[in-house]
A and B are shown apart, each in its own frame.
Chain A
């Protein structure tokens, strides 16, 4: 009996410990266990300065996906995003990179378009807006190149 309770306690300890580790990894570390359920679309930008992998993709302020990969394609930044399957995007949707607050992190905002054509998984959105470069704006203002 004593050995049984010891075994039970060890079992309980290991299960609780693994549960804690899993909670940290999945809830906070955004580890994809069941695989990525969303579909991928890409968009090209002249600059994605400040955007990071895992950044949020939003429509009307609601999270609909995350940035999966950022790469370079013919000297343009190519961003792959994983989008929630229940969200359909028109092929004239506008993808822009915005900042949360004045100094917050960068996120991707999608403004839905009016076209009848829906972007297929793996497809590409062509209308993009680069992030606003505040330093550039200020220097334009100071040096009078407005």
Chain B
């Protein structure tokens, strides 16, 4: 038990120590990314895993997000007689917020959890120690390819998400509900600025870093046994999703 002050102090110390370890992990990842040689084939493999294999779920979620935005936007805007603004409403929502955030959450749930579990199992079965014994740097071999692939894949997935979502909104708004196709796209073109697209791009870039960083960290410092890996995987997905949502708020406050 001990006294409550001690418990508070210990919790704070553990949290501070975790934050410090995560920061050092990020720093050494960055260092090993810029130091040659770059494991190019590993990066392509991870791009396949994070990017290509996530694209089907991204297409599905994007289409339905765009469609529901079209539906909700139409019924809300109709109250003010401004259905013409459906295009900008769908486009701006997707480009600024939903595209980057939902793509990041999907990647965290699909690729992030698998990465954490993969590295976690390598840790508990001492494969990481074996890599070190063979003078293969595990940071460079395991972590850097995933982080670099995340930084490349997430902006691309977000762009695909935005485009598919916009056409999903088009499907519902124009084909089903009868907004004119010209209005939908020309109003969107008038309202969407390059700064919106740049903002969404920067967001997705930072989310790519957050998701891969948190997930590889959680796997790298997993607890013992099967239970530990399970816990690390859960923590990886929860922490990266929460960080994405919190960081999204600050990005929006800074950028727009």
Contacts and interface: CB of A to CB of B under 8 A. Distances in A.
B48 A28 contact: no
What is the interface residue range for chain B against chain A? 20 to 34
Interface residues of A, number: 23
A6 interface: yes
Contact of B157 (A17, A31, A56): A17
Given A30-B194, A54-B193, A7 B44 contact: yes
Contacts of A29: 192-194, 196-198
Given A10-B44, A28-B189, A21 B159 contact: yes
A6 B190 contact: no
Nearest to A107: B190
A21 B201 contact: yes
Given A9-B48, A10-B44, A14-B156, A20 B162 contact: yes
A43 to B, nearest CB: 21
B182 interface: no
A12 B197 CA distance: 22
Contact of A17 (B91, B160, B194, B198): B160
Contacts of A16: 55, 156, 160
Interface of A is mostly: helix
Contacts of A24: 95, 159, 162-163, 197
A18 interface: yes
A25 interface: yes
B52 interface: yes
Contact of A20 (B45, B48, B153, B163): B163
A62 to B, nearest CB: 13
Interface in A1-58: 6-7, 9-10, 12-14, 16-18, 20-21, 23-25, 27-31, 54, 56
B51 A13 contact: yes
B47 interface: yes
B156 A21 contact: yes
Contacts, number: 72
Specify which of A16, A20, A23, A24 lies most central, judged by the most chain B CB atoms within 10 Å of its CB: A24
Given A28-B189, A31-B194, A6 B48 contact: yes
B192 A28 contact: yes
Interface string B73-102: 000000000000000000100010000000
A13 B55 contact: yes
A21 B162 CA distance: 9
B63 interface: no
B51 A28 contact: no
Shortest 4 CB-CB contacts between residues of A and residues of B? A17-B156, A20-B159, A29-B194, A21-B159
25 contacts: A6-B45, A6-B48, A10-B48, A10-B51, A10-B52, A12-B52, A13-B52, A14-B152, A16-B55, A16-B160, A17-B51, A17-B155, A17-B156, A17-B159, A20-B156, A20-B160, A21-B159, A24-B197, A25-B194, A25-B197, A28-B188, A29-B193, A29-B196, A30-B189, A105-B190
